[in-house]
Amino acid sequence: MTPRTIQQLFDLKGKVALVTGGSRGLGLQMAHALGEAGARIMVSSRKAADLEEAVATLQAAGIDARWIAADCSDEADIKRLVSETVERMGPIDILVNNAGATWGAPAEDYPVDGWDKVMNLNIRGYFLASQQVARACMIPRKSGRILNLASIAGLGGNPAGMNMIAYNTSKGAVITFTQALAAEWGKYNINVNAVCPGFFPSKMTMGTLKAIGEDKMAAHAPLNRLGDDEDLKGITLLYASDAGKHITGQWMAIDGGVSIITGG
């Protein structure tokens, strides 16, 4: 076989990508990366208004993008999301599990309903979406890429002293889930990898950044900066494309170097 060029390896033309939690923040950035490489994009989150705005920005960039509102903590909604995506766009080649939630409270006071909300969306939802997409598309075709959004908060400890035990636990579970699923589904030629972002300005991190200060948070990183609207694009495209076809069961911290200081 003649080796492909780097442009050919990263090319996603003809691929269909489903991005959960894709209406804003990191999910929307990843959707842009996949779409800019040629993939057709289905984004999902709970709120139709947010999705309409996200798809408008994707389409303005020349990306073939559509949306479906769904709650990724609900099994029936995930089944509907997958079946409607296949019906409207064809088999799913790339799944980005990004829908997530957080809840801050000291461990001794942490409410059980807060724990359940975070766990149900951040890890149970990833399992259900992966299972449904694999059953419907990836296993029968013996091909697929799954990208799971973890976090440097899942690498151990409590970054920046935040009281988010359920979130940290869920993101640690995402890393182990990624490794276990990659080991099981390698026989189907399904690559499963995780991305561990550090701090990126977003709606989810807004409260923390306001309380601690962006400059102080940036100072924790050897690169002395927070993540921006481009910093997840490269790893997303590597994991999703044939450029990363021999990578599975791995995680990568995209954090400006914070994890090498904290020991993650």
Catalytic site positions: 167
Q: Are 254 and 197 in contact (CB under 8 A)?
A: yes
- Phi and psi angles of residue 2, each rounded to the nearest 5 degrees, phi first: -70, 125
DSSP assignment string, the chain = -PPPPHHHHH--TT-EEEEETTTSHHHHHHHHHHHHTT-EEEEEES-HHHHHHHHHHHHHTT--EEEEE--TT-HHHHHHHHHHHHHHH-S--EEEE-------B-GGG--HHHHHHHHIIIIIHHHHHHHHHIIIIIHHHT-EEEEEE--GGGGSS-GGG--BHHHHHHHHHHHHHHHHHHHHHGGGTEEEEEEEE----STTTHHHHHHH-HHHHHHTSTT-----TTTTHHHHHHHHSGGGTT--S-EEEESTTHHHHHT-
Q: What distance in Å separates the CA atoms of residue 256 and residue 264, rounded to the nearest whole number?
A: 13
Give the chain's end-to-end CA distance (angstroms, integer): 40
